[in-house]
Every structure is written in structure tokens, then in C-alpha cells.
């Protein structure tokens, strides 16, 4: 039976086309400006559809006075560390909360939930002092190490995921003489792949794009990740001189492309998570 | 407790230890420290000086910038969050119709949310420049565009525009939830002769209220913590017209080293977020519809 609510009218098409076009205009401008020469950018004569194709901007960006390749490498190091930390720890903790029985567990889980409501700003200053005392300021450690202690949201995701797996699986493994760690490593870990990949994607997007963390902890140009570096290009240009917009846009593209790639490769895992429950799939 | 159960409990605490240690070291400890800091005057170089509730008193009665930042944060959250949700709902509803090339539209609408905030800020710095593309476009229709980020009256709308650009995030979530609404509901309404608009308001929207509510809560919490866009685009200016809570806190802590004052500010921010979350949960009883509920 055809239902009116699902019938697409010419009006629906018109709206969708206009809205998607408007949303994409800024992105088209980014590409156009990234391909423009310095003169075009300074004279403000770039157009939405690129008229010139200065692909050398993509190599030029690596030979300015700013160490772009270093920024990129730093981003990769920090992101890989953070993802490894979250994936390793969240799986273990989430499994424990879902399956193992222990006195005090329910109380602890309530605390896990409660901590999700505390804004990061509360702990920002004391954490800074802590890392300063440890001598970790101006290193990657404050941005990587806390991830090895999992976080409430990810623990919650894994716990929900494990709770939906039939418990006969681990009971059978137990009868076969596997210990708890064996069950986790050999039985659970392979089954957790979708949720761990989703956690990896969330962590990667959050860390790759993180601005405030590096802003607080990293002072040296050579330590900055790309997200901070791209912004640094604009803030270091002379006061009355416009920033080199074409190179800034190349930097923005370098910052964005990995996210598009990750989304493209990972979307099937993200949609496999129970989005309708509203607990997953949120940036 | 049997030997086996004791062993199991031991393993639980072993497996959960990363979170437990992290909770104590990175959350509980810092929270207690933050309460103490907020009661002191401290620049991190000399020992903290106990001042009692003075930081809170100064923030609430003696700091016009705090009130301005609070108002700006309210303004930003109160407009950007509902606007993003309405737009997201509207787009999801369009995509849920049997349109051709739905995947393409969905991707185009979602694309802006994949752009990292720093890059988004860069893009809008360019788009919103006084002689940038947006004002060029307005010029074509004969409207003289404002200097968005440089004018006190337009800087907040500019930041809201930036946030609405990411409405695709909500669209994708709402679309996934729409797929889960039983088709029989629509068929029954169709038999009764309900128009498509009527079906939207009486079936789609009520069925989606739990996920709309979830998005509202997450959106509000996020909006109250807005930082990167403000810090990069305006530094709170001009004349604090776009100063919000977290950039203000950041400046107080890491530019002026008023660590006690900034800690007090962080607790006030927490209080504001808690109050709004509670209000949202209270109101939820009146408008959020749960399947299992009998009315």
C-alpha cells in the first residue's frame, strides 16, 4: 500500500537538491581556493568553480617555514596511541562489567554512568597540574596515556554489546577449561570486533580533530598535531597581511580527508551498532 | 563465598582496574583538587592562598564578563540546538520518502559533519570574511552583508550558522530511527485519509521523541561547552560579544594563570549544565513518548 508520508514530490526533490547544494558550497570553495595561486587568493578573485589548478600547492604546503610533515606525523602518533589505548582497555573493562560477578559491581557501574555527566572542564586544571608535576607538559603523553584507562562511554558501549551475546558461549568455554582471560582473548575479542572498531573510529575522530588538548599541553612547533598546525598558519601570518588562504585550505583538506576515508571504510560498523537505541553513533 | 566466586570477583577487579585507576587518578582526584583550588587564589607558581568562597562571589557579583559569557552561551545553545534538530528532522523526513539517489543526498548532507572543527572554523573564517563568498552572494541579491565575525550584532548568528552546517549528524541518527517505525501505523492513518503532513506530526514525530530527546540533551551539553570555533574565529570578541563559558575559563586558566578563579568557573559551568539537563529530563515526561508506556 502506498503511503502519503513516503511519497516523494517534486517539492521534496527541490528541497533536497537546494539544501545539499548549500551545505556543499563551502566545501567546493575550499577545493577551489586550495587550487588557486597566491595572486588570485590575495586579490580575492577566486571563483566557486576552480578556474586554475595549482596542484603544486599540495607540495608547497610541505615546504613553508612551518613543519607540515611533522604536524602530520604528530597527528598520526597521537591518534594511533589514543585508539590503541581505548580499544585495549574498553574491551576488557566492558566485558568485566557485562559478564563477571563481583561484590560492589553494580555500585561501580552506577559511578561509570554518573561520570558521563561531568564536563571535562572540571578536571582540566588539576589534570594539567598533575601532568606538569610529572614533567609531561610539551610531550604527547597527556594526550595518549589517559586513553589506556578507558572511558565511561566506551565501557558502556562494550557492556551493552556483550550483554546481548548469548552467555552459553562463555559458559561452554568455561566447561572446556578456559580461564577468564582465555575466554576474553579467544572467544570474546573476535566477537567484539564491531563495537571495538566503532570505538576506534570515535576515538580517532575525536583525537585527530582535538584542538584544546594540544593547545593546553604542546608548546613547541615541532610537537604540534595538524589540527593545531593548520590554525597556527593563520595565527602566525603578519598582523596586516592576510594568511595564505590557499595553503590554509590545503591544510584543511589534509585534516579532513582521513576522516572521510575512515567514515567510508567504517560506516558499515557504525551502522551495525544499535543506533536506534540512541547509545551509539554519536560523535 | 565459594573459592570459585572469589576467583571470579578477583578477575572482575583485575579487568576493571584500568577504569577504576583512571577514575581515581584522572577524575575523582582532580575533582577533589578542583574543589580545593576553587576556594583559593592561585597562580601555579606561588603556594595557593585560601580565600573561601570569594572566587564564586566575585564571579557572580563582580564580573560582568562572566555574566556576558553566560548569556552568550545560553543564546548560542538556545538557538543552535533546536535549529539543528528541526533542520535535521526535516531533512531526515525528506530522505525517508522514496527519493531516488537517497544515498547520494545522505552523503552530501552528512559530509560537513566529517570536517574536523578546526577545518570548519578555517572554512567559515573564509566564507564569512567581509568580502567573502557569503557577502558576495548577498550582494548579488542587493543586500549589503555585515562583517559577520567583526560585528557584535552578527558574531553570534555567525557561530550559530557554523553549528547548523553540521545538522547532518542529527539527520543520520533520526533517519535510522525513522526506519524503525512500524509501517502499519502509516497504513492505518492512510486508510483514515490522513495527509502526509498529518502523518508526520501524528506518527513520525511522537515515535521519534526518545531519540529527539537524546539529541537535545547531548546537543545542549555540547553547546554549553563550545570552545574551538569561538577560540579560533573570534577569541570571544568583538568586545566579548561572542565570549562563552569555556573559552573564558581557558583564558582565565592558561592565559592569566588565575587557576583558582577558573576552577570556580568550571563548577559554575557544571551547575548550569546540570540544571539544564534536569529541566530537560523534567519536561521529558510531558513530551517524550515511550512504546511501553500506557496513557
Q: What torsion do the CA atoms of A42, A43, A48, A51 make, to the nearest 10 degrees? A: -100
User: Is residue A275 pLDDT above 80, yes or no?
Assistant: no
Q: Which of B145, B155, B279 is nearest to B221 (CA)?
A: B279
Collapsing DSSP states into helix, strand and coil, what is residue B3? helix
On whether residue B138 sits in a domain, the answer given is yes
Whether the model clears a pTM of 0.80, i.e. scores above it, the answer is: yes
On whether residue B43 sits in a domain, the answer given is no
On whether residue B44 sits in a domain, the answer given is no
Phi, psi of B91, deg, nearest 5 = -65, -40
Phi, psi of A150, deg, nearest 5 = 55, 175
Are the C-beta atoms of A216 and A126 separated by less than 8 Å?
no
Q: Give the pLDDT score at A283.
A: 31
User: Is residue B170 pLDDT above 50, yes or no?
Assistant: yes
Collapsing DSSP states into helix, strand and coil, what is residue A248? helix
Output the domain CATH number for residue B259.
1.10.3720.10
Which distant-in-sequence residues (6+ apart) come within 8 Å of A216 by Cβ?
A124, A128, A142, B254
Taking the mean position of all CA atoms in its chain, how far away is CA A179?
A: 34
Interatomic CA distance for residues B249 and B225, integer angstroms: 10
Distances from the Cα of B89 to the Cαs of A21, A61, A280, B81, in angstroms?
18, 40, 18, 12
Which of A101, A117, A216 faces B8 most closely, judged by CB atoms? A101
Q: Give the pLDDT score at B99.
A: 87
Highest mean pLDDT among A175-184, A264-273, B176-185, B252-261: B252-261
Residues of B in contact with A271 (CB under 8 A): 176
Are the C-beta atoms of B47 and B215 separated by less than 8 Å?
no
Residues of A in contact with B227 (CB under 8 A): 211-212
Q: Give the pLDDT score at A281.
A: 35
Which of A16, A124, A256 faces B99 most closely, judged by CB atoms? A16
Are the C-beta atoms of A221 and A67 separated by less than 8 Å?
yes
Interval A140-166 mean pLDDT: 94
On whether residue B231 sits in a domain, the answer given is yes
Which residues, numbered 15 to 34 in chain B, qualify as contacts with chain A under a Cβ-Cβ cut-off of 8 Å?
Answer: 15-16, 18-23, 25-27, 29-31, 33-34
Collapsing DSSP states into helix, strand and coil, what is residue B50? strand
Q: Could you tell me the residue range of the domain that residue B272 belongs to? A: 62-287
On whether residue B15 sits in a domain, the answer given is no
State how many domains chain B has.
1
Q: Which domains does chain A have, with CATH numbers?
A: 4-54 (no CATH), 61-272 (1.10.3720.10)
Interatomic CA distance for residues B20 and B16, integer angstroms: 6
Which of B23, B91, B224 faces A19 most closely, judged by CB atoms? B91
On whether residue B130 sits in a domain, the answer given is yes
pLDDT digits (tens, 9 = 90+) for A207-242: 999 999 999 999 999 999 999 999 888 876 655 567
User: Is residue A282 pLDDT above 50, yes or no?
Assistant: no
| Chain A residue nearest residue B255, CA to CA | A216
Q: Give the pLDDT score at A59.
A: 87
On whether residue B20 sits in a domain, the answer given is no
Q: Which three cell numbers stand for residue A236?
A: 602566525
ipTM of the complex: 0.88
Q: How confident is the model at residue A274 (pLDDT cuts 50, 70, 90)?
A: low
On whether residue B295 sits in a domain, the answer given is no
Amino acid at each position: 500500500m502506498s503511503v502519503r508520508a513516503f511519497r516523494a514530490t517534486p517539492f521534496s526533490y527541490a528541497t533536497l537538491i537546494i539544501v545539499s547544494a548549500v551545505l556543499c558550497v563551502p566545501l567546493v570553495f575550499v577545493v577551489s581556493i586550495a587550487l588557486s595561486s597566491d595572486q588570485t587568493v590575495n586579490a580575492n578573485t577566486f571563483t566557486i568553480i576552480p578556474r586554475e589548478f595549482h596542484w603544486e600547492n599540495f607540495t608547497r604546503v610541505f615546504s613553508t617555514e612551518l613543519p607540515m610533515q611533522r604536524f602530520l606525523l604528530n597527528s598520526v602518533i597521537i591518534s594511533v596511541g589514543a585508539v590503541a589505548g581505548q580499544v585495549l582497555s574498553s574491551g576488557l573493562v566492558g566485558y568485566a562489567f557485562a559478564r563477571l560477578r563481583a561484590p560492589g559491581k553494580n555500585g561501580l557501574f552506577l559511578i561509570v554512568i554518573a561520570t558521563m555527566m561531568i564536563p571535562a572542564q572540571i578536571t582540566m586544571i588539576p589534570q594539567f597540574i598533575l601532568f606538569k608535576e610529572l614533567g609531561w607538559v610539551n610531550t604527547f603523553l597527556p594526550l595518549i596515556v589517559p586513553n589506556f584507562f578507558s572511558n565511561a562511554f566506551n565501557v558502556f558501549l562494550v557492556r551493552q554489546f556483550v550483554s546481548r551475546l548469548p552467555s552459553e558461549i562463555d559458559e561452554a568455554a568455561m566447561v572446556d577449561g578456559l580461564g577468564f582471560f582465555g575466554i576474553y582473548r579467544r572467544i570474546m575479542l573476535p566477537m567484539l570486533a564491531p563495537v571495538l572498531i566503532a570505538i576506534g573510529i570515535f576515538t580517532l575522530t575525536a583525537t585527530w580533530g582535538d584542538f584544546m588538548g594540544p593547545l593546553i599541553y604542546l608548546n613547541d612547533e615541532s610537537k604540534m598535531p595538524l589540527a593545531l598546525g593548520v590554525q597556527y598558519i593563520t595565527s602566525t601570518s603578519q598582523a596586516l597581511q592576510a594568511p595564505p588562504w590557499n595553503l590554509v585550505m590545503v591544510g584543511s583538506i589534509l585534516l579532513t580527508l582521513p576522516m572521510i576515508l575512515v567514515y567510508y571504510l567504517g560506516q558499515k560498523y557504525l551502522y551495525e551498532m544499535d543506533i536506534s537505541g540512541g547509545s551509539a553513533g554519536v560523535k | 563465598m565459594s573459592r570459585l566466586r572469589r576467583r571470579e570477583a578477583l578477575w572482575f577487579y583485575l579487568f576493571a582496574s584500568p577504569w577504576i585507576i583512571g577514575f581515581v587518578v584522572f577524575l575523582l582526584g582532580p575533582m577533589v583538587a578542583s574543589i580545593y583550588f576553587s576556594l583559593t587564589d592561585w597562580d601555579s607558581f606561588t603556594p595557593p592562598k585560601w580565600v573561601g568562597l570569594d572566587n564564586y562571589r566575585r564571579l557572580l557579583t563582580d564580573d560582568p564578563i562572566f555574566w556576558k559569557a553566560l548569556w552568550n552561551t545560553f543564546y548560542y545553545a538556545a538557538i543552535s540546538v533546536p535549529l539543528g534538530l528541526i533542520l535535521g528532522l526535516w531533512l531526515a523526513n525528506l530522505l525517508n520518502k522514496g527519493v531516488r539517489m537517497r544515498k547520494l543526498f545522505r552523503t552530501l548532507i552528512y559530509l560537513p559533519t566529517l570536517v574536523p572543527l578546526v577545518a570548519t572554523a578555517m572554512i567559515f573564517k573564509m566564507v564569512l570574511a567581509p568580502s567573502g563568498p557569503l557577502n558576495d552572494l548577498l550582494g548579488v541579491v542587493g543586500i549589503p552583508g555585515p562583517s559577520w565575525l567583526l560585528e557584535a550584532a552578527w558574531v553570534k548568528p555567525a557561530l550559530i550558522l557554523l553549528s547548523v552546517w553540521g545538522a547532518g549528524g542529527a539527520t543520520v541518527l533520526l533517519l535510522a530511527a525513522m526506519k524503525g517505525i512500524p509501517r502499519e501505523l502509516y497504513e492505518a492513518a492512510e486508510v483514515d485519509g490522513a495527509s502526509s503532513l498529518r502523518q508526520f506530526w501524528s506518527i513520525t514525530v511522537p515515535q521519534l521523541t526518545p531519540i529527539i530527546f537524546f539529541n537535545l540533551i547531548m546537543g545542549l551539553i555540547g553547546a554549553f561547552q563550545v570552545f574551538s570555533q569561538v577560540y579560533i574565529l573570534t577569541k570571544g570578541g568583538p568586545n566579548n560579544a561572542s565570549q562563552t563559558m569555556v573559552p573564558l575559563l581557558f583564558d582565565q586558566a592558561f592565559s592569566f594563570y588565575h587557576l583558582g578563579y577558573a576552577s570556580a568557573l568550571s563548577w559554575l559551568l557544571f551547575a548550569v549544565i546540570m540544571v539544564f539537563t534536569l529541566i530537560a529530563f523534567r519536561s521529558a515526561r510531558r513530551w517524550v513518548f515511550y512504546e511501553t508506556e500506557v496513557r
